[in-house]
Amino acid sequence: MSIQIIENKISHNKTLRWINITNAKKNEIKYLKDKFNFTLKNLRDSLSHVRSQRLIIEEYSNYLFLIFHFPVFNKEKNEVIGKEIDCFISKNYLITIHNNKNRSLNNLFSLCRKDQDTRDNYMGKDPLFLFYEILNRTFDQCFFILDTLNIKISEVEEKIFLSRQRESIDDILMLKHNIINFSRIMQSHKNTLKKIFQCNNKKIFSSCQIKSHNNLIRNTKDIWEIAQSQKEMIEALEYTNDSMLSYKMGNIMKTLTIFSVIVFPLTLFAAIFGMNTINGMPLTETENGFWIIILAMAAGTALMFLIFKKKKWL
């Protein structure tokens, strides 16, 4: 059973428990059902194969149920994907349920389990404070993902201005996909956090208002603004890349057009003197008729070339 529990004594009559569950299956859900009075709907939502499409905050008389989504960068696929964290928060415990992909949450849990001072620092107050620290560390991970995307944007920009536009197309599309995914995952966090920290259910929290929660709200705002800035940057790079590709294509078409017009006299003379009308065809019976025709064709080509040169089309 993938259930880990940390207990920390806050006062002589109060102990805070942090229960961390990974990849919840039937056994884990049965444990929660037997130990706590959670609704069947919340328990069903906590199964590992069930994924909510939206952030959820549901307040009951003795606990809060929360579903949060956070971006995770998959290095193998070079892709930003969303991962879910389900939380049950009550006056004496915090239960986190996830698929073991949240590195910041796992690191904090390991620190609290190994070190008493860390446990006192993060688990020495009410569960909301511990929940705040988990979110704060998870948002730090979001900033790391944004830094990674910034590096990739810089690499794409360098490729574009090194005349490697065709190589940049796939990179731009992948970056747009990742930034859109990141923004979609993070767009609702700010309002959801405000609802949590505005709660006044004293049966759940001894002190719902945490002074540092403003910093958490500010982090969500900063993350959103950076993501939107990156979206604008990649759109600008995509426009620049398309413009440079169009310019190159235009130059190719211009060269082909000029070439076809310059050789037009050759085609015209060849077509005229290739007709099956020998009788009456000028120069055909002349001794040097062939060379005269070749000279006329060369003169026509030179004339077209000079016209283009004078118009500065070459």
One-character DSSP codes across 242-265: HHHHHHHHHHHHHHHHHHHHHTHH
37, 93 Cβ separation under 8 angstroms: no
What value does the mean pLDDT of the chain take?
82
pLDDT at 23 over 50: yes
Residue 254: both structure tokens together: 């211009």
pLDDT at 148: 92
Q: List the single range of 62-66, 134-138, 216-220 with lowest mean pLDDT.
A: 216-220
Average pLDDT over residues 18-36: 88
pLDDT at 146 over 90: yes
Of 150 and 254, more confident: 150
pLDDT at 175: 92
- Note the pLDDT tens digit of each residue in 246-299: 888 888 887 788 777 777 777 777 777 777 666 666 666 667 777 777 787 788
pLDDT at 284: 64
pLDDT at 305 over 80: no
pLDDT at 197 over 60: yes
pLDDT at 201: 56
pLDDT band at 177 (very low <50, low <70, confident <90, very high): very high
Average pLDDT over residues 17-39: 88
Alpha carbon distances (Å) from 207 to 82, 123, 126, 130: 31, 14, 7, 12
Residue 180 CB: number of other CB atoms within 10 A?
14
pLDDT band at 208 (very low <50, low <70, confident <90, very high): very low
Q: How far apart are CA 293 and CA 68, in angstroms?
A: 83
Q: List the single range of 16-20, 135-139, 210-214, 281-285 with lowest mean pLDDT.
A: 210-214
pLDDT at 48: 67
Average pLDDT over residues 86-108: 87
pLDDT at 314: 63
pLDDT band at 147 (very low <50, low <70, confident <90, very high): very high
Q: How far apart are CA 88 and CA 35, in angstroms?
A: 13
76, 65 Cβ separation under 8 angstroms: no
Of 203 and 100, more confident: 100
6, 113 Cβ separation under 8 angstroms: yes
**Statement: 3-246 belongs to CATH 3.40.50.2300:** no
Average pLDDT over residues 56-75: 86
Start and end residues for every CATH 3.30.460.20 domain found in the chain: 3-246
